[in-house]
Structure 1
Amino acid sequence: MPDVLHGLDEMIRLRQRWTRLMTGNSEAPLRDPAGTEATADRLTEVTAFGGNPGALRMLRFLPPDLPRGAPLVVALHGCTQSAAGFDHGCGWSDLAGQIGFGLLMPEQRRENNGNLCFNWFEPEDTRRDSGEALSIRQMIGWMLEHDGLDPRRVFIAGLSAGGAMTSVMLATYPEVFSGGAILAGLPYGAASTVPQAFEAMFQAPQRSAGERGDAVRAASRHQGPWPRVSVWQGEADATVRPGNAEEVLKQWLDLHGLEIGHPTLQEARPGETYRAWGRGEDRPLVEIHSIPAMEHGVPLHAGTGERRAGSAGPFLLDVGLSSPHAILDFWGLGEPPQRRFAVDRNGEAWEVHGFSPASLLDKALRIVGLR
């Protein structure tokens, strides 16, 4: 046990050093007139978004000229990570700019958890209208209202403790989300104490599908429809055992009235085994990506170019498979929105789908050969 604890301490120390390097925390934040704080990277902090009973930080990114009614993606970091470091590693804000969605990245504070884990196992933080769960819900509400985003297209994804907190949010506020993605996470209700949390992580106790589903049904008065869920798991993960992914599947398949033994699609793909469940819709309701030999972290195809995003680092693993791209595809957000433009008979361009008049006019003139 001392060797294990020493290894964890060393891992946390290295992770903290990497995060400081990636986020530039030595620089002081800058105030802007909207009452937010611009961090050293592209995320902006909002400080007055609600009562914030969970005492979390709210950081957000809006691409320039994002049209009203755009989707919202919430991304939850893992233990020892920061929001900015997680964004840098996964490339979420880059994808937000390319595709067109608002990005919310809640961040844990060390005063709440010494390892910067979201408290997915604390009853006060995992109930509807309480603690960290309510803080994240207040952040979402603030962005939907303040930034004019689409309440029908809100999605959430998280890694490890952030993945388990994603389970919490999908369970306690299922009416808020159209879809979720749980990466190396755990099912809702897996633990309510620290010892239970470690047992769940390292042993992945099996429960019936009905029991897993009932935990979510008891978390709110919602009776459906339920969010669509994508599950990601490395088969060599020794931090959150792969059995947890099967328990997450049981939970959401039970809610959707589907059976784990009867996937509608199962196939070996380059770098992964894929299973999906649905009822003949264009996209499945529940899916899992199992990645052989991958340890604990986010699967990435790091760099720039087609189907690439982010930068490899601790718990950000370049395995040649971009989970952020695949998750956005699963949610139906994978392609940039179709941009239309219009020019009236007097040559004046009008703003359509987020384009400025100047950019519309420029494009129109190029089409007719005048520029």
Structure 2
Amino acid sequence: MQLWASLAGVVALAALGNGQITKVNDFNAGPTKLGMYVHVPKNLKTPAPIVVAVHHCQGSAQGYSTETKYMPLADQHGFILIYPNSRSSGGCFDVASTATLQHNGGGDSQTIVNMVKYAVEKYGGDSSRVYTVGTSSGAMMTNVLVGAYPDVFKAGSVYSGVPDGCFAVAGATATQDPPGWSNNCANGQNIKTAAQWGDMVRSYYPSYTGPRPRMQIWHGTADNTLHYPNYNEQLKQWSNVFGLTTSKNTSNTPQSGYTQTIFGDGTATTAQLVGYSAQGVGHSVPQHESMDIAFFGIA
């Protein structure tokens, strides 16, 4: 049985390493009906890091794989890419229900975690090096994933998102279509203290006492979809979760018009929390893929 399982794994990797993403037809772990797509490089050295890349509303796994440039980096550095695919009518992920916010509560977040488990078992992924990145709805889900599953993810990079729990809607369910929507949150009107935001994260997995995933946050000042106040609210939230009280700003970094903020000790690639405010940039901030991978410690 072990021999057949090993041979099946080799055949699967050979079929996947084709420079494209591949739909995983036998993933059915649920609990929600997200599609699972992967990119597994040829000649993968296992155990390999895993990066979960989560698309935006009106998007798809296939679209996000070509809009972004993570696949060439995966081929270069040898990591597995997972692209969850929303099946809702608007292409958004559920970040509004209690189920998806809570650790092992169900919802899209738990389905994505089950995709990670699948990649560990089937492709030789390294469960100790799992990361997530997302844009807009995918950014909101990235915050939810690192909040509810700090035991799974080691770092996240968020492009134009909102704080973990900000989008919660009373009565929202994990299977409703479209997922719940919070105008107050989207418009940047959910303003809380850092401690209040931090308490929300801690409440989603109250028994957890281990290390928290490192976070990188990107947001444009001209964002009229998930408004700019959400940037500062995210930084307040994660700085409280990490217990960080000091920060340092650097203008025109990594490019003109961007302001980098590093919280606590460390550099742009080693600090627990790093923010990037993009002057005049709307929704959403262009992906900085190489910086994401460097922040994750893969490159």
Shorter-chain TM-score bucket reads: 0.7 to 0.9
Contact 1:217 1:223 in 2 (8 A): no
Q: Percent identity?
A: 30
Matched, 1:267 2:245: no
Q: How do 1:289-368 and structure 2 match up within 5 A?
A: 289-300=276-287, 323-334=288-299
> 1:98 offset after TM fit, Å?
1.6
> 1:47 offset after TM fit, Å?
2.8
Q: 1:326 to 1:127 in 2, by over 3 A?
A: same
Q: How do 1:27-38 and structure 2 match up within 5 A?
A: 34=12
> Equivalent residue for 1:305?
none
Q: 1:59 is paired with a residue of what secondary structure? A: strand
Q: 1:264 to 1:173 in 2, by over 3 A?
A: same
Return the match for 1:224 from 192, 197, 210. 210
User: What residue identity is the alignment partner of 2:293?
Assistant: L
> Equivalent residue for 1:283?
270
User: What residue identity is the alignment partner of 2:129?
Assistant: R
Q: What is the aligned-residue RMSD (CA, Å)?
A: 2.3
> Equivalent residue for 1:161?
137
Q: 1:137 is paired with a residue of what secondary structure? A: helix
Q: Relative contact order (C-alpha < 8 Å, sep 6+): which is higher?
A: 2
> 1:195 offset after TM fit, Å?
7.6
Q: 1:57 to 1:232 in 2, by over 3 A?
A: same
> 1:329 offset after TM fit, Å?
1.4
Whole-Å separation in 2 of the counterparts to 1:298 and 1:279: 25
> Equivalent residue for 2:174?
none
Return the match for 1:126 from 93, 101, 107. 101
Whole-Å separation in 2 of the counterparts to 1:161 and 1:294: 18
Return the match for 1:177 from 135, 153, 157. 153
> 1:41 offset after TM fit, Å?
7.7
User: What residue identity is the alignment partner of 1:249?
Assistant: L
Give the alignment's TM-score, normalised by structure 2: 0.86
Whole-Å separation in 1 of the counterparts to 2:209 and 2:196: 16
> Equivalent residue for 2:8?
none
> 1:104 offset after TM fit, Å?
0.4
Matched, 1:94 2:72: yes
> 1:87 offset after TM fit, Å?
1.1
Q: Which runs of 5+ in 1 are unaligned?
A: 1-32, 301-322, 335-371
Whole-Å separation in 2 of the counterparts to 1:204 and 1:91: 33
Q: Which runs of 5+ in 2 are unaligned?
A: 1-10, 170-178
Contact 1:233 1:289 in 2 (8 A): yes
Whole-Å separation in 1 of the counterparts to 2:188 and 2:112: 29
Q: 1:213 to 1:52 in 2, by over 3 A?
A: same
Q: 1:52 to 1:196 in 2, by over 3 A?
A: closer
Whole-Å separation in 1 of the counterparts to 2:43 and 2:12: 17
> Equivalent residue for 1:27?
none
Q: 2:286 is paired with a residue of what secondary structure? A: strand
User: What residue identity is the alignment partner of 1:63?
Assistant: P
Q: 2:277 is paired with a residue of what secondary structure? A: strand
What's the CA shift string for 1:72-98, capped at 9, x where partnerless?
100000000111111101111121112
Whole-Å separation in 2 of the counterparts to 1:49 and 1:183: 27
Q: How do 1:225-264 and structure 2 match up within 5 A?
A: 225-259=211-245, 262-264=246-248
Q: 1:274 to 1:147 in 2, by over 3 A?
A: same
Q: 1:152 is paired with a residue of what secondary structure? A: strand
> 1:34 offset after TM fit, Å?
4.8
Q: 1:226 to 1:251 in 2, by over 3 A?
A: same
Contact 2:278 2:285 in 1 (8 A): no
Whole-Å separation in 1 of the counterparts to 2:153 and 2:109: 13
Contact 1:54 1:125 in 2 (8 A): no
Whole-Å separation in 2 of the counterparts to 1:283 and 1:187: 22
Q: 1:67 is paired with a residue of what secondary structure? A: coil
User: What residue identity is the alignment partner of 2:141?
Assistant: M
Q: 1:96 to 1:41 in 2, by over 3 A?
A: closer
User: What residue identity is the alignment partner of 1:329?
Assistant: A
Q: 2:240 is paired with a residue of what secondary structure? A: helix
User: What residue identity is the alignment partner of 1:67?
Assistant: K
> Equivalent residue for 2:52?
74
User: What residue identity is the alignment partner of 1:61?
Assistant: H
User: What residue identity is the alignment partner of 2:197?
Assistant: R
User: What residue identity is the alignment partner of 1:141?
Assistant: K
Contact 1:183 1:297 in 2 (8 A): yes
Q: How do 1:39-78 and structure 2 match up within 5 A?
A: 42-78=20-56
Contact 1:50 1:138 in 2 (8 A): no
What's the CA shift string for 1:101-133, capped at 9, x where partnerless?
110000000xxx221100111223333220211
